[in-house]
Structure 1
Amino acid sequence: MGKLTLTTFLTLDGVMQAPGGPEEDPGDGFRYGGWVVPFDDEVMGEFITENFGRVEAFLLGRRTYEIFAGYWPNHDDPANPVASRLNRLPKYVASTTLREPQWENTTVIDGEHLQAEVVRLKDKLDGELQVHGSGQLAQWLLARDLVDELHLMVFPVFLGAGRRLFPTGSLPTACELTGHRATPKGVVINSYRPTGRAAFGTFAV
């Protein structure tokens, strides 16, 4: 049985919107796209290479899928661990509006059947079903306890605006730290396994 993992770039204040460039996602007037770029370094690249080395299939939201589909088919390189896997492995897109995807090995899953399909995919895979970015989809999966592991790449910058991975009203969830590392430029990469509902208490007085 495979597992579903979520990998996300986050600012210190939890923003995940448009990490890769100014034009990536200017929705809601977001003006700070590309905040990851100044912190790219070798250690961050090593983690990404390791992560993509475990993938067997991808599950993506429509917006992230369209960003990837507009870039990676035009930058294909069999030696590149990201390009080679994104271009060749199965890709499942959660969407109610996408009808005829042009990127090879793409299957659209509508919202009505999404939960059953995610469970089915996890059951049939041996490796990882990976979610990258895909904010709305990530929140939907977390709210249904469908994520087996989170890789949160936290960058030393806060923006004060933008869509967040954990909005107000998120399901209270406890996690176990399964791995961590820091890059020379200050990016902290933490891996967590959800363990159930968050617990609460009080310190003895």
Structure 2
Amino acid sequence: MKLTTVTHVTIDGVMQGNGGASDEDRRNGFERGGWAPGAGDDETRTFITPRWEDTTVLRGDLAAAISELKAKPGAELQVHGSGILTRWLLENDLVDEMMLIVIPVILGQGARLFPETGPDLALDLVESRVDSKGVTIQVYRPAGRAVCKGLKSLTTEPRCHDTTGDDLQMRYLVSVIDDKSNPGSTDRRPAISAFNERLITEGYWVFAGGLADTDAATVIDNRGEQAVFSDGPFVESKEYLAGVWVWEAPDLDVALKLAAEASKVCDRKIEVRPFL
């Protein structure tokens, strides 16, 4: 059986008090409940004796017990509400699909499904639809660490691991080298844009940027008693750094193959260096 979490949230991610009926919906001074049909709250409790008929209480190693339950034949296990339980299930790789029912309101207060800090997670969209009142229903599948999915941001983490079982990803600095005495062609932007789109689609892209000419550079040396600012590059050379990519690839061979394509696309030399 697959396990699906079903959660009502607002545009700003609040899930507290969608029914607005219980004391739990009003805890911590929350006064804006009743923003969606149905009752729900963010509290998860431990029960020893069930209060409902046909209820089984899981004991001991809960992750193992849920995994065993999922291995049994059947259609679907559903978890409704409870941000605490949803986050715990995600952290233990027990969620197969997440259904987010997003109500078009902004509350500005209340318990959110995901707090400001926590583990990163990539999601693959399975289904998305919207009703006549603007309520969107989005179904996602967890897809491992977000930092392994080619996000356009820099991080000091040199490699990451996709929890879905993909290989380790190495991160590479890919430098574009131009030559003042023999510059590359200047009409490469359409080809470079198409190459960048491919990098993004295939999950290699992390960051890219072009650099101004070396005449715009400033070198700062603050190793002595006073900082020294010098205009121009740190070393005079015909060759200079014209731009950079940061890629993620499973190994150096893949990065070098991409770099050979990049050199052809840019009409310039390419240097590839792995991050430590």
Give TM class, smaller chain: 0.5 to 0.7
How far apart in 2 are the matches of 1:179 and 1:102?
Answer: 35
Q: 2:15 matched to which residue of 1?
A: 16
CA–CA distance in structure 1, aligned partners of residues 75 and 17 of structure 2: 28
Quote the residue 2:90 is aligned against: 142
Q: What does residue 173 of structure 1 align with?
A: 121
Partner of 2:52: 103
Percent of pairs with identical residues = 49
**Paired residues of 1:18 and 1:25 also in contact (CA < 8 A):** yes
* Displacement after TM superposition at 1:202 (Å): 1.3
Q: Deviations over 1:143-183 (max 9, x none)?
A: 12211101101111111111111112322111111111101
Unaligned runs of 5+ in 1: 41-60, 65-94
Q: Which of 164, 189, 201 pairs up with 2:112?
A: 164
Q: Tell me, which stretches of 5 or more residues in structure 2 are unaligned?
A: 152-205, 211-276
How far residue 203 of structure 1 moved from its aligned partner, in angstroms, is 3.6
SS state at 1:107 partner: coil
- Give the Cα separation in 2 of the matches to 1:7 and 1:18: 15
How far, CA to CA, are the matches of 1:183 and 1:134 in structure 2?
24
- 1:20 and 1:202, CA in 2 relative to 1: closer, same or farther beyond 3 A? same
1:53 counterpart residue number: none
What secondary structure does 1:9 align onto? strand
Match of 1:6 in 2: 5
What is the distance in 1 between the residues matched to 2:42 and 2:21? Answer: 19
Per-residue CA deviation, residues 108-133 of structure 1 (Å, 9 max, x unaligned), is 224x4210111011001321111100
Alpha-carbon distance in structure 1 between the residues aligned to 2:114 and 2:102: 13
Higher relative contact order (CA 8 A, sep 6+): 1
Moved over 2 A (4+): 21-24, 61-64
Tell me, yes or no, if structure 1 residue 152 matches structure 2 residue 157. Answer: no
Q: Give the TM-score taking structure 2 as reference length.
A: 0.50
CA distance in 2, matches of 1:99, 1:174: 35
Q: Is 1:19–1:34's contact at 8 Å kept on the other side of the alignment?
A: yes
Asked whether the equivalents of residues 7 and 133 of structure 1 are also in contact (C-alpha less than 8 Å), the reply is: yes
The structure that is helix-richer by fraction is 1
What is the RMSD of the two structures over their aligned residues, measured on CA atoms? 2.2
5 Å-filtered alignment, 1:85-96, equals 95-96=45-46
Q: Offset of 1:34 from its aligned partner? A: 0.9
Q: In the alignment, which residue of structure 2 is the partner of 1:202?
A: 207
**Paired residue secondary structure (2:25):** coil
What is the CA-CA distance between 1:22 and the residue it aligns to? 3.8
Inter-partner Cα distance in structure 2 for 1:204 and 1:177: 29
CA distance in 1, matches of 2:110, 2:62: 26
Quote the Cα distance in structure 1 between the aligned partners of 2:83 and 2:74. 25
Contact 1:22 1:31 in 2 (8 A): no
Give 1:33 deviation, angstroms: 1.4
How far apart in 2 are the matches of 1:22 and 1:190?
Answer: 26
Q: Is the 8 A contact 1:143 1:170 kept in 2?
A: no
Residues 47-126 of structure 1: pairs in structure 2 closer than 5 A? 63=43, 95-96=45-46, 98-110=47-59, 112-126=60-74
User: Which secondary structure state, in structure 2, belongs to the residue aligned with residue 202 of structure 1?
Assistant: strand
Contact persistence 2:42–2:84 (CA under 8 A): no
Q: Shift of residue 102 of structure 1?
A: 2.7
Using the alignment, how far apart are the partners of 2:101 and 2:5 within structure 1?
Answer: 11
**TM-score normalised by structure 1 residue count:** 0.67
Q: Distance in 2 between matches of 1:139 and 1:183?
A: 27
Tell me what 2:26 maps to: 26
Any residues of structure 2 matched to 1:180-195 within 5 Å, and which? 180-195=128-143
In structure 2, C-alpha distance between the alignment counterparts of 1:203 and 1:31, rounded to whole Å = 46
